[in-house]
Amino acid sequence: MTKLLIVLVLVLGILAVAQLARVYELTSRLRGKREEEISPADNRMNAMLMWLFVVLYFASFIWLMVRYGDKMLPVAASQHGVELDRLLNFNWIIIISVFFITNTLLFYFAGKYAFDKGRRAFYYPHNNKLELLWTTVPAAFLAVIIIYGLRTWNRITEPATGDAIRVELYAKQFDWTARYPGKDGMLGATDFRLINGTNPLGIVTETSVATRMDEIEADIKAAEGRISNEILPDGKVDELQEEIAHLRRMLERISNLRTVMLEDIKEKGDASPYKHGSDDLVIKEFHLPIRQQADLLIRSRDVIHSAYIPHMRAQMNAVPGMTTRFKMVPTITTDSMRIVTGNEAFDFVLLCNKICGASHYNMQMPLVVESADAYDAWMAEMLKKPFEGGDAPEEERPAEGTEPMPMDTVVAEPMAQLQDPASMNK
Ligand SMILES: [Cu+2]
């Protein structure tokens, strides 16, 4: 109803303005004045308004920057973040300078050359020197911006050093799981077919392959049992048969995987990635030591997600079927950042930055950056429950099957330990 009234008011308003214009036109005609004749006083008034406008325009621009400047992210907490901020600020300085210069000229001349009956326009058709100048100067600026940007980008994305801490960040609808190498310092191989309740990341080890094969065989037996023992409608029988065929194909692929694994182990011995999975840590916590390079290996189970750590100025897509990477060196601990931001509850946070489904907004995991000693102590604690041989991973037991749950059946579990994002930067 309110919307209808607004539309009605707008339509009537437009009609009123049209009528007023018509009245003005008629009265001008009565007074024997031509419609396009505008008095010198009106022209001067418009010129003044042009100048007034640009002053207010700049004043509000500056006010916005001062008023809301503190809503920007706090100081970068990573080595490359400082570089990235410098690059961004360099761009801002150029863009804002150009903005002030061009707008000043535009409105100054619009006012200065307001219509004057006695003045003739100056005919100035062409000037090669000017053309050259306003082509080469912006081109030079752009070249500097692009070269500076590319150099920064290349430095940020160059491969991690050998002693970097490798952490896998595994994305799925709608949470993150971290995987750290165990005592052997290497991450094990993975395969999505092995994903189940106790192996949320599909780590390949001899045990996990055997377990998964038993599980699938049991599923096939159960489905076959239902077909032979239960009275089912035709449609259901077809459905079960299709499922059995699917499970058999899966079993065959896992069997092939086992062959590949055994051969690789035979060939490479302890260097085989299939030998390193059982002591991996699969956890819902994400810690990093300060001033050490971390090589983040990012994977996704279902759709494209994006690993985003805003305070570190780090972001990389998580793409199903491949591993993407991002390396960084944290330079400020969580505790120091709490002092810097004046927010005692501050936590670095790993967010998903791709709209990936209904609970995307809640796909986040806190990141703790701490001293090397604190990190080692935490790691020692974590190492007590590796993937195999320790407690089961802290993953919720999924429903049957290994398919990711369809979006509409997933219920968001708010992460109580995270404060609301709006207060994060305080
Ligand atoms: Cu996501």
Cis peptide before 109 (omega within 30 of 0): no
Residues 383, 329 within the same domain:
yes
Same structural domain for residues 147 and 175? no
Quote the CA–CA distance of 232 and 152 in Å, as a whole number. Answer: 64
Greater confidence, 187 or 143? 143
Domains held by the chain: number = 3
Confidence of residue 37 (pLDDT cuts 50, 70, 90): confident
The answer on 311 and 228 residing in a single domain is no
Q: How far is the CA of 171 from the centre of ligand 1 (A)?
A: 7
Q: Are residues 174 and 138 in the same domain?
A: no
Asked whether residue 402 carries a pLDDT value surpassing 50, the answer given is no
**CATH (domain of 300):** 2.60.40.420
Higher pLDDT, 237 or 80: 80
> Could you report the per-residue pLDDT of 19-33, keeping only the tens digit for each?
998 888 888 778 776
- Measure CA 10 to chain center: 40
Question: Are 212 and 121 within one domain?
Answer: no
Q: What does each C-alpha distance from 203 to 121, 184, 273, 293, 307 come to in angstroms?
A: 78, 15, 10, 25, 21
Q: Cα(356) to centroid of ligand 1, in Å?
A: 4
* Nearest CA among 376, 396, 202, 394 for reference residue 285: 394
State in Å: Cα 73 to ligand 1 middle: 21
| Helix/strand number for the chain, H first, E second | 8, 10
| 192 CA → ligand 1 middle, Å | 18
Q: Could you tell me the distance, in angstroms and rounded to a whole number, from the CA of residue 340 to the centre of ligand 1?
A: 29
Distance (Å) from CA 233 to ligand 1 centroid: 39
Range of the domain at 315: 164-188+279-397
- Please give the C-alpha separations between residue 410 and each of 351, 353, 378, in angstroms, as whole numbers: 18, 19, 32
Q: How far is the CA of 422 from the centre of ligand 1 (A)?
A: 19
363 alpha carbon – ligand 1 mean position (Å): 6
Q: Are residues 90 and 176 in the same domain?
A: no
Distance (Å) from CA 367 to ligand 1 centroid: 17
Mean pLDDT of 346-375: 93
List beta partners, residue 368.
287
Listing DSSP states for 381-419 in one string gives HHTTS-TTTSSPPSPPPP-SSSSPPPGGG------TTSP
At residue 233, φ and ψ (nearest 5 deg) are: -65, 155
User: Do residues 54 and 103 lie in contact, with contact meaning Cβ atoms separated by under 8 Å?
Assistant: yes
117 and 52 share a domain? yes
Question: Distance from the CA of 2 to the center of ligand 1, in angstroms?
Answer: 38
To 5 degrees, how large is the angle CA 144–CA 150–CA 151? 90
On whether both 141 and 33 belong to a single domain, the answer is: yes
Q: Judge if 217 and 173 occupy the same domain.
A: no
For residue 404, how far is its CA from the centre of ligand 1 (angstroms)?
13
Please list, in sequence order, all residues whose beta carbon lies within 8 angstroms of the beta carbon of residue 358, skipping any fewer than 6 positions away. 174, 407, 408, 410, 412
Considering the domain architecture, whether residues 141 and 84 belong to the same structural domain is answered as: yes
The predicted structure's pLDDT at residue 169: 95
Q: Binning pLDDT at 50, 70 and 90, where does residue 390 land?
A: low
Chain segment 245-302, per-residue pLDDT in tens: 998 998 888 888 888 888 888 888 888 888 888 888 888 999 999 999 999 999 999 9
In a domain, 404, yes or no: no
- In this model, does residue 413 exceed pLDDT 60? no
Residues β-bridged to residue 306: 317
Same domain assignment for residues 169 and 86: no
User: Distance between CA atoms of 406 and 61, rounded to whole angstroms?
Assistant: 46
